[in-house]
Amino acid sequence: MEALAVLGVASNILQVIDFSSKLVIAATEIHKARTTLQHADLQSAATDLKSLNSKLTTSLNSSGALTEENTELHQLANESILIADELVLLLDSVNAGPNPGRLESFRKATKTAWKRNKIEASAKRLESIREQIQFRILVQIKTELDFSSFRDDAQWRLFDNNTKKIMETIIANGISLQAKIDHQTASLSLRHDHHEETAVQRHEEVLTTIQDKPVLSSVFIPSRQTNRWDMEPDPRNVQRKILNLLDFRQRRDRHEDIAEAHKKTFEWLYQHAECYNKPWDNFLEWLQNGTGIYWVNGKAGSGKSTLMKFVDDEVRTHQVLDIWAERNGLPVVKASYYFWNTGTAMQKSRKGLLQSLLYQILSRQPQLVSVTFSSAFDNEDFDFGDFPSYSEVKRAFNLALRESGEKMNLFLLIDGLDEYDADGSEMSELAEYFQTISNISGVKLLLSSRPLPTFEEAFKQNAQLRLQDLTAADITAFVEDKITTHQRIQELTETD
């Protein structure tokens, strides 16, 4: 098969895959009874797909004798035709007439003939075929195509205008693309190609080279004239992608690095304040009935982070918060963040703070993903290139806060404000921000820091405790427990 014929077949396969993929998405939506389609839409879709299938079959028949290298291309084309034919049969089953009842028949057909696993398997296979076709186009234009005389080829006159347009775009960028591929391949060839993993990586990296070229990115997934059949991306996939991008590897590192509290340490925190005769605000009362901010402050090394982790992990925290939530019957969402001044930028920045909290909130209330990032759902061409930016995270977090008191009760635990990597004015701004959001219905914050002047001033009216004044009894309990549980001490006690 000549190089130009190969490109023609490949271009036709891509058109079939593109349209078939949209129909698979449509079948998924109809399977969930979320999409309404008119008879004319179904008839038009079936006609269009039949036409594309016919064009692909014609290009295969006229492509000439097969070479060993192009056998797989024909196999991919035939597989695309089979998937498309199955879709056509599904559409034809409801195209007998413009009877409104046919829509219900279509839904029934998709539920019986196209079960969920079948739909997902077809979608994955279509995407796999698309990737293989893309790579074969790369190889073809790199090794066999004469860019200077392709229009003189007799085969060129056999292609329709749409296919010619796709091929011209590919070929027009072929020379510069070939240079990029040569450079990429040369650098990758220095590796040990006998390893299967390396070979796969070479394939993926060369493919990335072509996909990064703007002009060609639209060619490999050919765009069609917009019509009522065109479907938006599956919202579940968009939702998963957003959550994956919001998460970051070091998000839990600081929490896990903090030492566990002794089993009897901080027991007083869940008892009434008068038990210890100390001038601190009752934490248990605030957790169950209070509002706004509770500020834990203490000198360096006084155990603030250990206490915050204890509260974060303690089952009684969740139990008491559930009592707090009974006032409006809404679920409690708890999110935490631990500033760490020796960590990465995301572990000591405002973006890291908001992004971590937002990820936890949306993971527990996934229906809010489409509310907080509506543009990603409304625009199928949404650019995830540098997602999420700080402005996107901040806007989404503020939108999530608006849902407090309506969709959820929100408990935010934030440790180490003094480890925020910022100057004094930025720390003051952060403290003011916490005061602002603490006034939102259904939101309360447990904060901790050293008693820096900035925070002393900002939180002086809020419930608080000074940790260094309260831990003497816990140190005694810790020492006594260590002594009494030591095996040798127990033996001596039993001897006495």
Residue 351 in this model has a pLDDT that exceeds 80: yes
Give the span between the Cα atoms of 31 and 54, in whole angstroms. Answer: 28
Give the span between the Cα atoms of 450 and 305, in whole angstroms. Answer: 11
Please name the residue that has the structure tokens 């060619």. 219
Residue 447 in this model has a pLDDT that exceeds 70: yes
| Residue 345: exposure state from Cβ atoms within 10 A (0-12, 13-18, ≥19) | exposed
Q: With respect to residue 180, please indicate whether it lies within any of the assigned structural domains.
A: no
Q: With respect to residue 496, please indicate whether it lies within any of the assigned structural domains.
A: no
Q: Which residue type does 456 have?
A: E
Q: What pLDDT, on a 0 to 100 scale, did the predictor assign at position 451?
A: 96
Query: In terms of domains, do 226 and 278 share one?
Result: no
Q: What pLDDT, on a 0 to 100 scale, did the predictor assign at position 200?
A: 46
Would you put residue 290 in left (φ > 0), alpha (ψ -120 to 50) or beta?
A: beta
Query: In terms of domains, do 227 and 324 share one?
Result: no
Query: In terms of domains, do 161 and 268 share one?
Result: no
Q: With respect to residue 452, please indicate whether it lies within any of the assigned structural domains.
A: yes
Give the span between the Cα atoms of 147 and 219, in whole angstroms. Answer: 17
Q: What pLDDT, on a 0 to 100 scale, did the predictor assign at position 145?
A: 54
Give the span between the Cα atoms of 131 and 379, in whole angstroms. Answer: 24
**Tokens for 471?**
């831990």
Confidence bin at 140 (pLDDT 50/70/90)? low
Confidence bin at 198 (pLDDT 50/70/90)? very low
**Pairwise pLDDT comparison (93 vs 397), residue with the higher score:** 397
Sequence-separated (6 or more) residues with CB below 8 Å from residue 365 = 331, 333, 400, 403, 407, 408
Residue 207 in this model has a pLDDT that exceeds 70: no
* Antiparallel, parallel or unpaired: β 463-466 and 332-338: unpaired
Confidence (pTM): 0.54
3-state SS, one letter per residue, for the chain: CCHHHHHHHHHHHHHHHHHHHHHHHHHHHHHCCCCCCCHHHHHHHHHHHHHHHHHHHHHHHCCCCCCHHHHHHHHHHHHHHHHHHHHHHHHHCCCCCCCCCHHHHHHHHHHHHCCHHHHHHHHHHHHHHHHHHHHHHHHHHHHCCCCCCHHHCHHHHHCCHHHHHHHHHHHHCHHHHHHHHHHHHHHHCCCCCCCHHHHHHHHHHHHHHHHCCHHHHHHHCCCCCCCCCCCCCCHHHHHHHHHHHHCCCCCCHHHHHCCCCCCCCCHHHHCCHHHCCCCCCCHHHHHHHCCEEEEEECCCCCCHHHHHHHHHHCHHHHHHHHHHHCCCCCCEEEEEEECCCCCCHHHCCHHHHHHHHHHHHHHHCHHHHHHHCHHHHHCCCCCCCCCCCHHHHHHHHHHHHHCECCCEEEEEEEECHHHCCCCHHHHHHHHHHHHHHHCCCCEEEEEEECCCHHHHHHCCCCEEEEHHHCCHHHHHHHHHHHHHHCHHHHHHHHHC
Model confidence pLDDT, tens digit, residues 327-348: 999 999 999 999 999 999 999 9
Q: What pLDDT, on a 0 to 100 scale, did the predictor assign at position 230?
A: 41
Query: In terms of domains, do 302 and 223 share one?
Result: no
Confidence bin at 361 (pLDDT 50/70/90)? very high
Q: φ and ψ at 337, to 5 degrees?
A: -150, 140
Query: In terms of domains, do 288 and 226 share one?
Result: no
Tally of domains within the chain: 2
Query: In terms of domains, do 38 and 77 share one?
Result: yes
The parent domain of residue 104 ranges over: 3-173+213-231
Residue 1 in this model has a pLDDT that exceeds 70: no
- pLDDT above 70 coverage of the chain, percent: 53
Q: What pLDDT, on a 0 to 100 scale, did the predictor assign at position 385?
A: 84
As beta bridge partners, residue 445 has 293, 412
CA–centroid distance for 299 within its chain: 39
Q: With respect to residue 186, please indicate whether it lies within any of the assigned structural domains.
A: no
Q: With respect to residue 22, please indicate whether it lies within any of the assigned structural domains.
A: yes
Model confidence pLDDT, tens digit, residues 53-90: 676 667 666 655 555 556 777 777 777 777 777 766 76
Q: With respect to residue 196, please indicate whether it lies within any of the assigned structural domains.
A: no
Query: In terms of domains, do 388 and 275 share one?
Result: yes
Q: What's the mean pLDDT in 146-169?
A: 62
Q: What's the mean pLDDT in 442-448?
A: 98
Query: In terms of domains, do 164 and 265 share one?
Result: no
Confidence bin at 496 (pLDDT 50/70/90)? low
Residue 212 in this model has a pLDDT that exceeds 70: no
Report the CATH number that the domain containing residue 344 is assigned in CATH: 3.40.50.300
Residues across the chain: 496
Q: With respect to residue 492, please indicate whether it lies within any of the assigned structural domains.
A: no
Identify the domain boundary among 231, 257, 272: 231
Confidence bin at 242 (pLDDT 50/70/90)? very high
Q: How far is CA 163 from CA 11, 56, 249, 261, in A?
A: 6, 11, 44, 68
Q: With respect to residue 237, please indicate whether it lies within any of the assigned structural domains.
A: no
Confidence bin at 218 (pLDDT 50/70/90)? very low
**Tokens for 462?**
């809020």
